[in-house]
């Protein structure tokens, strides 16, 4: 059996649904910020599985916690208690200041669970007539891939021919507080929004936006649901991106880095009111809150704090952003970022971000194009200054390269 790159790629293409178009590299090992392909070539991971491996690949302490727990107990279902769930609740609540926690698996499940919960809150606490609840969302959002979620996406490729979709959503522009004010009705139960729109290309809203959003939600008894699945857990240089705005969400969604990339773990965090409406039998998940997931998540949260990864994200993110801004290349239209959630938007004439990502791969950097003209850069939060500088050198030569 040969293990050449062609075998893996061709076999995936032959048997797999073609819902992805990966960069041509076959990875077989990872450690910290680095990954290696099957030929032994090393790459700096500047995607971090869309922020799921923020703690770095195969973090030894998360790995140890996972192995230890896997030897003891993996899954009980929530039909019984287990000795990890309470500890996970206690630790995540203490860290984030939340009152109630609902453990799920994927990010999309956390989003769906939040929508169910705020609707229920709307009917049972706010007094919205049954079946009339409205949730406001933003254009260019990304909240996952389930039917419920893609129904309120504005990206044609995520929606086309997947309908019919569930009603009850209103779409407004991102970063526009006046639009939120206009969209709120007596039946509005929640505003679901990303603090920074990641998949849309790392779009940072205007300063003061979330202060106004918070005020509008409070004034109208509308739950502010922040999808921090990508921005949360240190990615932007704070534990939660909401802290940059000095606000607190009513409902916070976490996923991705909640397990350091070992295992799908997500959570809905809220005040007592929203998750307090859920009664036995009304919501659930076979794997949600399982002991293995809890042990992994506890370790993932612990190393994030104990090893100073959040502070490092702020420090290295600032260095990376300064460095990117210093690159003199006429391909670059704009550089954006907060913490280690960074993006380089190219001029449309540059011919698309994909070719630059391919070129970066050739120089030992894995990054991903998004929305055609944007290169997203989000390395693990354990990156060092030397590694940032190493990446910047290669980005500079790649972005100044003339492909025409």
Ligand X SMILES: *Cc1c(COP(=O)(O)O)cnc(C)c1O
- Check if 256 is active-site: yes
Residue with Cβ nearer ligand X (199 or 250): 199
Q: Report the nearest approach of ligand X to the CB of residue 323 (Å).
A: 25
Tell me the closest approach of the beta carbon of residue 47 to ligand X, in angstroms.
Answer: 12
User: Cβ(283)–Cβ(111) under 8 Å?
Assistant: no
Residues 6 or more apart whose Cβ sits within 8 Å of residue 178: none
Site string for ligand X, 223-252 (x = CB under 6 A): ----x-xx----------------------
Beta-bridged to residue 170, according to DSSP, are 136
How far is 197 from 6, CA to CA, in rounded Å?
Answer: 35
**Residue with smaller CB distance to ligand X, 30 or 195:** 195
Q: Give Cα separations from 282 to 80, 100, 131, 222, 395 (angstroms).
A: 17, 16, 17, 22, 50
Query: What is the footprint of ligand X within residues 90-119 (CB under 6 A)?
Result: 106-108, 111
Q: Which helix (H) or strand (E) element contains residue 332?
A: strand 332-338
Among residues 154 and 181, whose Cβ is nearest to ligand X?
154
For residue 228, the tally of other CB atoms under 10 A from its CB is 27
| C-beta atoms surrounding 67 within 10 Å | 10
User: Which one of the spans 76-84, 141-149, 345-353, 362-370 is the region binding ligand X (CB under 6 A)?
Assistant: 141-149
CA–CA gap between residue 56 and residue 207 (Å, rounded): 31
Give the range of 154-162, 200-208, 222-230, 285-293 binding ligand X by CB under 6 A. 222-230
Q: Write down the least CB distance from residue 108 to ligand X, Å.
A: 3
Q: Measured from the CB atom, is 249 or 350 closer to ligand X?
A: 249
Fill in the per-residue mask, 290 to 329: x = in contact with ligand X (CB under 6 A), - = not in contact: ----------------------------------------
92 close to 239: Cβ distance less than 8 angstroms? no
Q: How far is the CB of 87 from ligand X (least distance, A)?
A: 23
The answer to whether 142 is a known catalytic residue is yes
Nearer to ligand X, 284 or 351 (CB): 284
Residue 267 C-beta: closest distance to ligand X, Å? 12
User: Min. distance of Cβ 131 from ligand X in angstroms?
Assistant: 26
Site string for ligand X, 255-284 (x = CB under 6 A): xx----------------------------
Residue 5: helix, strand or coil by DSSP? helix
**Please, is 158 exposed, middle or buried when counting C-beta atoms within 10 Å of its C-beta (0-12, 13-18, 19+)?**
middle
Residue among 37, 256, 273, 369 flagged as catalytic:
256
Catalytic entry in 37, 100, 120, 142? 142
Q: Which helix (H) or strand (E) holds 252?
A: strand 251-254
Applying the rule CB under 6 A, the residues between 322 and 341 that interact with ligand X are none
Per-state percent for the chain, helix, strand, coil, to nearest 5: 40, 20, 45
* 227 is a catalytic site residue: yes
Q: Decide: is 50 part of the binding site for ligand X (CB under 6 A).
A: yes
Q: Give 112 or 134: the residue with its C-beta nearer to ligand X.
A: 112
Residue from 12, 28, 25 nearest 365 by CA: 25
Please identify, using beta-carbon distances, which residue of 84 and 230 lies nearer to ligand X.
230
Tokens describing residue 399: 């972005």
Give kind and range of the element (H or E) at residue 34.
strand 34-37
Here the tokens at position 79 are 């039909």
Residue 39: Cβ-neighbour burial (10 angstroms; 0-12, 13-18, 19+): exposed
Question: Nearer Cβ to ligand X, position 51 or 331?
Answer: 51
The nearest distance, CB 251 to ligand X, in angstroms, is 13
Q: Dihedral of CA 275/280/284/288: which sign?
A: positive
In the window 193-212, what residues touch ligand X (CB under 6 A)? 194, 198
Type and span of the H or E element at 13: helix 5-15
Select which of 37, 227, 273, 369 is catalytic: 227
CB of 107 to ligand X, least distance (A): 2
Q: Both tokens of residue 89?
A: 């609740």
Residue nearest to ligand X (CB): 107
Active site residues: 142, 227, 256
Residues that bind ligand X (CB under 6 A): 50, 106-108, 111, 142-144, 194, 198, 227, 229-230, 255-256
């Amino acid at each position: 059996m040969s293990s050449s790159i062609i075998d893996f790629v061709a076999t995936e293409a032959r048997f797999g649904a073609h819902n992805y178009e990966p960069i041509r590299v076959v990875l077989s090992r990872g450690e910290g910020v680095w990954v290696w392909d099957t030929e032994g070539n090393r790459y700096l991971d500047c995607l971090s599985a869309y922020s799921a491996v923020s703690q770095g690949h195969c973090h030894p302490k998360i790995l140890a916690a996972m192995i230890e727990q896997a030897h003891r107990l993996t899954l009980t279902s929530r039909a019984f208690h287990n000795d990890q769930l309470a500890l996970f609740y206690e630790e995540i609540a203490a860290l984030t200041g939340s009152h109630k926690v609902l453990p799920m698996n994927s990010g999309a499940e956390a989003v769906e669970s939040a929508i169910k919960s705020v609707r229920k809150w709307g009917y049972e606490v706010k007094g919205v007539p049954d079946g009339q609840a409205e949730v406001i969302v933003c254009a260019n959002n990304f909240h996952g891939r389930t039917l419920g979620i893609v129904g309120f996406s504005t990206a044609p490729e995520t929606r086309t021919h997947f309908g019919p979709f569930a009603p009850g959503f209103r779409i407004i522009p991102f970063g526009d507080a006046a639009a939120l004010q206009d969209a709120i009705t007596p039946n509005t139960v929640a505003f679901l929004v990303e603090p920074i729109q990641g998949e849309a290309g790392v779009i940072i809203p205007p300063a003061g936006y979330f202060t106004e959003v918070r005020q509008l939600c409070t004034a109208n008894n509308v739950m502010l649901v922040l999808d921090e699945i990508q921005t949360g857990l240190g990615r932007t240089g704070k534990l939660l991106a909401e802290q940059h705005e000095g606000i607190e969400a009513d409902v916070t969604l976490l996923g991705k880095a909640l397990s350091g990339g070992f295992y799908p773990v997500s959570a809905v965090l809220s005040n007592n009111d929203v998750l307090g409406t859920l009664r036995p039998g009304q919501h659930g998940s076979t794997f949600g809150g399982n002991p293995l997931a809890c042990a992994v998540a506890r370790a993932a949260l612990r190393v994030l704090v104990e090893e100073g990864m959040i502070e490092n994200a702020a420090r290295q993110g600032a260095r990376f952003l300064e460095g990117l801004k210093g690159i003199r290349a006429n391909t670059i239209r704009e550089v954006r970022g907060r913490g280690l959630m960074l993006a380089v938007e190219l001029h449309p004439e540059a011919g698309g971000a994909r070719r630059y990502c391919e070129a970066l791969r050739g120089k030992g950097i894995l990054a991903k194009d998004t929305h055609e003209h944007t290169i997203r850069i989000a390395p693990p939060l354990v990156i060092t200054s030397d590694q940032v500088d190493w990446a910047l050198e290669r980005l500079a030569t790649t972005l100044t390269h003339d492909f025409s």
